[in-house]
Amino acid sequence: MPRYRLTLEYHGGPFVGWQRQAQGLSVQGVVEAALAALEPGPRAVQGAGRTDAGVHATGQVAHCDLGRDWDPFRLAEALNHHLRPHPVAVLAAARVADDFHARFSATFRTYTYRILNRRAPLTIDAGLAWRVSTPLDDGAMQAAADLVVGRHDFTTFRSVQCQSPSPVKTLDAFHVERQGDEILCHLGARSFLHNQVRSLVGTLERVGAGRWPVARMAEALAARDRAACGPVAPPDGLTLTGVRYPGD
């Protein structure tokens, strides 16, 4: 059966997350329903990242096996037709080798967390960013972010429901960028723990607001204790922006 790689964009607001669940609308579920509309029968799709409820994507990758040899452009167009009215779009489709796996073949993932640092409520950006009304020092936030880059035990910054066999991960990049009232946190790694990005950003906000000294970020990491983590940032501001594979 031909295998296809799909690059997806979606607004996470209406969904219980990427992963199909017993109850609630999932991104995986609506993509599988669109595939089944093209070819009768159950059609499974595997994603590169299991984004949580409310988390968005501009570069999610998934793969699926189909019975027909579809032209990639026509496949993307047909899927987008059947995905309406859900806020999910196939940006690109490509034929790939049979051993390609969206999750296990991935070599790098990037996320961006968006904070709007202002007093006024969000209107256009409601559901797409975390509004923090307290002034934030992005320089202090970057200094704290630098302390957790590298290979560490991230027990402090992972959900107690995390299913990863090890809390040890390598965080390759953690950049804090201010553009006016907007603060963007860009993170990159081969893989992430459950809630790792939101836990790191939520803790970073404490530093930016002056409630934590920069050094406390390193202390929280060294504690290897979930109780040492700051508040977890809400899902609204988080977007999976890209997934890389060998040869990309």
State the catalytic residues. Answer: 52
CA-CA distance, 234 to 115, in Å (whole number)? 10
Polymer length in residues for the chain = 248
DSSP character for 51? P
Between the alpha carbon of residue 89 and those of residues 27, 61, 209, 233, the distances in Å are 10, 12, 37, 26
Q: Are 241 and 110 in contact (CB under 8 A)?
A: yes
CA angle at 15 for the pair 13 and 16, rounded to the nearest 5°: 120
Contacts of 153 (CB under 8 A, 6+ apart): 167, 168, 221, 224
Residue 37, number of CB atoms within 10 A of its CB? 14
Of 208, 206, 207, 188, nearest in space to 197 by CA: 188
Q: How far apart are the first and last CA of the chain?
A: 23
CA-CA distance, 36 to 177, in Å (whole number)? 42
Q: Are 16 and 77 in contact (CB under 8 A)?
A: no
- 170 beta partners: 151
